[in-house]
Amino acid sequence: MIHLQVHMHVKPEARQDFAEKAKALITSTQAEAGNISYALYEDVSSPGRFVMIEEWKDEQAIEQHNQTEHLTGFFAYARDVLTEPVNIHRF
């Protein structure tokens, strides 16, 4: 099992739209065979700081997820609203 924490910092004016688009990503991702859990949280003390907490069956599941249209489309959108590069921690 592999756990990921994906940290993202979003422009203030994009917070609501980002969260809505992330919800669609979450719904699609949770339907993937190798996904165990996938959830988004926003830092209550620092609005606009989000973390996606992910749990995957194995590396192959992550690789397949990384090629999906819903993920590539989400990050194509996110490039314009993030204030810094995405920071990924693997466990």
Please give the chain's pLDDT, 91 residues, in tens: 999 999 999 999 999 999 999 999 999 999 999 999 999 999 999 999 999 999 999 999 999 999 999 999 999 999 999 999 999 999 9
Q: Is 28 left (phi over 0), alpha (psi -120 to 50) or beta?
A: alpha
pLDDT of residue 63: 98
Q: What angle do CA 43, 49, 47 make, to 5 degrees?
A: 65
Are 14 and 50 spatial neighbours (Cβ–Cβ below 8 Å)? no
- Distance, C-alpha 88 to centroid of its chain: 10
Domain ranges of the chain: 2-90
Which CATH code fits 2-90? 3.30.70.100
pLDDT of residue 25: 98
pLDDT of residue 51: 98
* Residue-averaged pLDDT of the chain: 98
Q: Which of 36, 25, 41 is nearest to 2 (CA)?
A: 36
Note the pTM of the prediction, 2 decimals. Answer: 0.91
